[in-house]
Amino acid sequence: MIDKAERLLAVKSVKPTSVRILVLAHLLKDAKAQSLKDLEVSLYNTDRSSIFRTLKTFEEYKVVHSIDDGSGMMKYAVCAEGCNCDPKDLHYHFYCTNCSLTYCLLDNPIPIVTLPENFKMHQANMVIKGLCDKCP
Ligand SMILES: [Zn+2]
Ligand SMILES: [Zn+2]
């Protein structure tokens, strides 16, 4: 995962500091999205503000995207290599109401929505709620 994290940072032109590699390797390990709190718990040797700053940098450079799944905490998931977080890169997310995990549904891009004239889209929050395959 360290190799993969380093490669992805290089692709996205982000300077690979040790905290960045650590956070990204951790996010890459699982298919699920993670909140700042999840990361804090897993990376207990790293302070909260470094993790937070790292996530903000990652968002800026399109290394991760944030997901508001309605759980009250923003979650973060790794973007695909060619992702620019453009409308065409946006996809549905799945939130399991039992285990509270959030997954990217990369094969399900969001439909193109025709907005009224002069309206501009900044974000689309498409979350499907239900039970994941690990929950009864
Ligand atoms: Zn579940
Ligand atoms: Zn996603």
Specify if 135 maps to a domain: no
81-83-129 Cα angle (round to 5): 110
pLDDT digits (tens, 9 = 90+) for 114-136: 999 999 988 888 999 999 999 98
Separation of CA 19 and ligand 2 centre (Å): 22
Specify if 82 maps to a domain: yes
pLDDT value at residue 52? 96
pLDDT value at residue 66? 93
Residues with Cβ within 5 Å of ion ligand 2?
Answer: 77, 104
Specify if 136 maps to a domain: no
Domain that holds residue 56: 2-130
Specify if 87 maps to a domain: yes
pLDDT digits (tens, 9 = 90+) for 33-74: 999 999 999 999 999 999 999 999 999 999 999 999 988 999
Instruction: Look up residue 110 and give its DSSP letter.
Output: P
Domain count, the chain: 1
Separation of CA 65 and ligand 2 centre (Å): 6
The CATH number given to whatever domain includes residue 106 is: 1.10.10.10
Separation of CA 130 and ligand 1 centre (Å): 8
Closest ligand to 129 CA? 1
Sign of the torsion formed by the C-alpha atoms of 89, 80, 46 and 97: positive
Specify if 43 maps to a domain: yes
Residue 82 has pLDDT above 80, yes or no: no
Torsions phi, psi for 112 (to 5 deg):
-75, 125
pLDDT value at residue 89? 84
How far apart are the C-alpha atoms of 93 and 136, rounded to whole Å? 19
- pTM: predicted TM-score of the whole model, two decimal places: 0.86
Residues with Cβ within 5 Å of ion ligand 1?
Answer: 96, 98-99, 132, 135
Specify if 105 maps to a domain: yes
